A and B are shown apart, each in its own frame.
Chain A
Amino acid sequence: MGNGFLFQAVIYLSAAVICVPIAKRFAMGSVLGYLIAGMLIGPFVLGFIGHEGKDIMHFAEFGVVMMLFLIGLELEPAHLWKIRKQIIGVGLSQVLITTAVVMAIGIAASLLWQSALAIGFAFAMSSTAIVLQSLKEKGLMKEPSGEFSFAVLLFQDIAVIPIPAILPLLVFLPITNSIDTHGAGGIEELPKWLQTGAVLAAVGVIVLVGRYAIVPMLRLIAKTHMRELFTASALLIVVAIALLMQQVGLSPALGTFLAGVILANSEFKHELESDLEPFKGLLLGLFFISVGASIDFNLMYAHAGTVAVLTCAVIFIKAIVLFLIGKKAKLSLDQNLIFAIGLSQVGEFAFVLFSFIGSHNILTQEQTDMMMAVTALSMTISPLLLIVLDKWVLPKVRAAKNEQTTKRADRIEERNNVLLVGFGHFGTTLARFLRANGVVATVLDNSSDQVDLLRKMGFNVFYGDATRVDILEAAGAAEASILIIAIDSPETNLEIVKIVKQHFPNLEIMVRSKNRMDTYELLDEGVENIYREHLDTSIRLGVDVMKKLGYRTYSAFRAGQNFIKYDEAALRTLSKNRKDMKVYISDVREQIALQEELLQSDRQIVPSANDHAWDSKEMRDKILEMDNQKKK
């Protein structure tokens, strides 16, 4: 078997399959799982793979390219334009300040200013792969921390374009003319003005092709109804753009990102997303594994102290710079911490840059290796730091934030006996209605950017996760009489119901539900007040349909009211029947079976306008019939 392809594939895949679920189980996120898998199979622990890890890393970097294409797909041009100030303001200051600080320290440590600058640049970069993957997993992309992180990463991707071009000019041109010696093709051989022209032309090509060629092509391919052909086209788009970008010396990630943004408005958006998602996931996983495998434990052992100090210093410096930038941009403390710690590692681009620097003998081989070790180590440590942040720091920060609210509430002697969890569309309307009638509910929500706004509007808002007993306690669950659960996710609602039933048994629960299935689950939990969000609306629409068809409004209205009553009763009956059903029936089949039962019972008892109230016709018929009998 040896080191055949299949053997390698088995090693990588099994490492991933074993380590990632374990990491997830301990709430460490997939990134850390892959990194650990890489370390385990790497040359220094189990030795399944040797130093080819670095080559695999280059290949797997393509996962980052794909990820940016997918991110582009989710970002419409208008939105990108909206965050341009963040990208330039926050991104530029992060790159410049971090580079400057690292460079200053490098010079103080008696490095050549050129190498100090190069190291500074390399360390300023963060890992797009790690950060975006973690943010997505935690659902933070839409939060301020997520948006800021994204802006910084995007700017870094733009910034790496000139760095390989500038660095040799700046650093090496006065010494040697080495830049020409490795120009093995591509546009580096062209004169400068032509290079610039080529870059602009490439961007133009992407925009034009994205606008006018890709969508018609995809339409044609979609017509063939061959799924694999569509997948192939999706891959072709990404690979072709990456190639074009490489030819003109631009970052492939940036090019595919641009293409993604252009295709964000097309009808194939979701199709492309679902086709590329598995490739992206696998390649990113491979990338993280190869990062883990490339960590040189021998070197680290030999220079344990230096590597440790350097790694800590880099993370510390990056985090502080980011934190100050976040603070200046008025991020709230908790969001700022996520932003600063999240981006504190050194990114994958540093590997490329260090091997570049190393090949020009500006640093000794040992120094280069050490810098690479620091990079890899920082990539491993930052997910751990995020866990620490998530588990121990953020709850305290948020508790402090909540304490202010509690104090304020105490000061104005306001004790709300209604607690509202979830402040989305549903919760907002509900809270507005209640407040318009003098019932000011205490709101609990875990989207922190809303909190300040809501406080200004006079709501008592607590920021936090309502599935946690201490947060519910802090929000006054023990004193409140009614708890409204209005979160969008039925699973979360159910989880809260269970927790509340256990810890606050006296609290009356009123809960929003999405459909019949989660209503059944809530009924099983013994919840009485369940509000299916679609029920009233769909009946209301139906009543209006009847009106438009010429039914009397009052009859249609009563038919609607009756149907709701009947449906609620039928729901409870079916809920009981459902318990008797055999367990092996899958959810979907169960749903169909119940739907069928429901439609049948509709046919038997149709609660419509066909009741006898005020039916003078019936009365008249009876009277005339009696009259006729008398005559006989």
Chain B
Amino acid sequence: MKKVLILFAHPRMEKSRANNTLLKHIPSAANITFHDLYELYPDFNIDVETEKQLLLEHDIIIWQHPFYWYSCPPLMKQWMDMVLEFGWAYGPGGTALKDKIVFNVMTTGGANATYNAEGHNRFTIQEYLRPFEQTAYLCKMKYFPPFLVQGSHRLTDEELQRFSKQYVILLTKMSEGTFEESRMNEIRFLNEICMKPV
């Protein structure tokens, strides 16, 4: 069993169909914690001690957010700036997060096809996620590939349901520890290990 922490950042949840659907499917399990940053810190005044404590209590950290302007919403960035302290998360003696797993769960408006050298987004998602990857690296954490809900603008309700089911599988595997860490180098997206029911 692993303890999973979902750090969620969405400035306008009430307008987000994709994220609302995903959140509804989060299994209510004792070892899955849902942590809604915009709900807690509307003034961006993050309680660093609480956040650090929360990180210490969990093994797997999920950054769940919409992909805005090729990055996360500002409060998520604020969270990184404030919580991942020098000497605690990184730098000399900064080993608090060592060996914890971290990855992004993102919704993107554009389809996957647009994220490559030929598409109008010109770069791959992996390239855009370099800052997250490097952050995890500095914090001695294991950075897994992202779980993506892409093309959210055009998704039908059925397609969205399918993504939600994948998300449930992902969270179940993560919380039960039934995933193969070695495969993480082979796959591009975590969706790939969630295709069939457990």
Give A contacts to B, CB under 8 Å: 551-558, 613-620, 623-624, 627
B-side contacts of A619, CB under 8 Å: 109, 153
Which one of A613, A619, A620 has the highest number of Cβ atoms from chain B below 10 Å of its Cβ? A620
- Can you give 22 A-B contacts (C-beta < 8 A)? A551-B14, A552-B13, A553-B38, A553-B42, A554-B11, A554-B12, A554-B39, A557-B43, A613-B11, A613-B12, A614-B10, A614-B12, A614-B73, A615-B12, A615-B15, A616-B12, A616-B17, A616-B66, A617-B17, A618-B15, A620-B152, A623-B154
Task: Report if B16 contacts A (CB, 8 A).
Answer: yes
Query: Smallest distance from the beta carbon of A564 to chain B beta carbons, Å?
Result: 13
Which 10 pairs from chain A and chain B are nearest by CB?
Answer: A557-B42, A614-B12, A554-B38, A554-B42, A620-B153, A623-B153, A553-B42, A553-B39, A617-B15, A615-B15
Apart from A552-B13, A627-B154, what are 13 other A-B pairs with CB-CB below 8 Å? Answer: A552-B38, A555-B12, A555-B14, A614-B11, A614-B66, A616-B15, A616-B16, A616-B18, A616-B153, A617-B15, A620-B152, A623-B153, A623-B154
The answer to whether A620 and B17 touch across the interface, beta carbons within 8 angstroms, is: yes
B-side contacts of A553, CB under 8 Å: 38-40, 42
B-side contacts of A627, CB under 8 Å: 154
Nearest to B12 among chain A residues (CB) is A614
The answer to whether B68 and A624 touch across the interface, beta carbons within 8 angstroms, is: no
A-side contacts of B17, CB under 8 Å: 616-617, 620
Nearest to A551 among chain B residues (CB) is B14
The answer to whether A624 and B13 touch across the interface, beta carbons within 8 angstroms, is: no
CA of A169 to CA of B38 in the docked complex: distance in angstroms? 85
CA of A171 to CA of B75 in the docked complex: distance in angstroms? 90
Nearest to A617 among chain B residues (CB) is B15
Which residues of chain B from 35 to 75 have any CB-CB distance to chain A below 8 Å in the complex? Answer: 38-40, 42-43, 66, 68, 73
CA of A551 to CA of B39 in the docked complex: distance in angstroms? 10
B-side contacts of A616, CB under 8 Å: 12, 15-18, 66, 109, 152-153
CA of A556 to CA of B12 in the docked complex: distance in angstroms? 11
The answer to whether B66 and A556 touch across the interface, beta carbons within 8 angstroms, is: no
CA of A505 to CA of B16 in the docked complex: distance in angstroms? 54
Query: Smallest distance from the beta carbon of B164 to chain A beta carbons, Å?
Result: 17
CA of A618 to CA of B18 in the docked complex: distance in angstroms? 14
Assuming the contacts A554-B38, A554-B42, A557-B43, asked whether A624 and B153 have C-beta atoms less than 8 A apart, the reply is yes
Which residues of chain B from 106 to 164 have any CB-CB distance to chain A below 8 Å in the complex? Answer: 109, 152-154
Nearest to A627 among chain B residues (CB) is B154
Nearest to B75 among chain A residues (CB) is A554
Query: Smallest distance from the beta carbon of B18 to chain A beta carbons, Å?
Result: 8
CA of A623 to CA of B111 in the docked complex: distance in angstroms? 13
Query: Smallest distance from the beta carbon of B130 to chain A beta carbons, Å?
Result: 24
Query: Smallest distance from the beta carbon of B114 to chain A beta carbons, Å?
Result: 13
CA of A614 to CA of B12 in the docked complex: distance in angstroms? 6
The answer to whether B153 and A552 touch across the interface, beta carbons within 8 angstroms, is: no
Query: Smallest distance from the beta carbon of A617 to chain B beta carbons, Å?
Result: 5
The answer to whether B42 and A614 touch across the interface, beta carbons within 8 angstroms, is: no
Which one of B10, B15, B109 has the highest number of Cβ atoms from chain A below 10 Å of its Cβ? B15
Query: Smallest distance from the beta carbon of B65 to chain A beta carbons, Å?
Result: 11
The answer to whether A614 and B153 touch across the interface, beta carbons within 8 angstroms, is: no
B-side contacts of A554, CB under 8 Å: 11-12, 38-39, 42
Which residues of chain B from 1 to 40 have any CB-CB distance to chain A below 8 Å in the complex? Answer: 10-18, 38-40
Query: Smallest distance from the beta carbon of A66 to chain B beta carbons, Å?
Result: 55
The answer to whether B14 and A552 touch across the interface, beta carbons within 8 angstroms, is: yes
The answer to whether B42 and A624 touch across the interface, beta carbons within 8 angstroms, is: no
A-side contacts of B43, CB under 8 Å: 557
A-side contacts of B152, CB under 8 Å: 616, 620
CA of A619 to CA of B109 in the docked complex: distance in angstroms? 9
Nearest to A556 among chain B residues (CB) is B42
CA of A505 to CA of B109 in the docked complex: distance in angstroms? 57
A-side contacts of B13, CB under 8 Å: 552
A-side contacts of B10, CB under 8 Å: 614
CA of A624 to CA of B109 in the docked complex: distance in angstroms? 12
CA of A614 to CA of B10 in the docked complex: distance in angstroms? 9
Query: Smallest distance from the beta carbon of A318 to chain B beta carbons, Å?
Result: 62
The answer to whether A614 and B68 touch across the interface, beta carbons within 8 angstroms, is: yes
Which one of B11, B17, B42, B43 has the highest number of Cβ atoms from chain A below 10 Å of its Cβ? B42
CA of A557 to CA of B11 in the docked complex: distance in angstroms? 11
B-side contacts of A617, CB under 8 Å: 15-17
CA of A558 to CA of B75 in the docked complex: distance in angstroms? 14
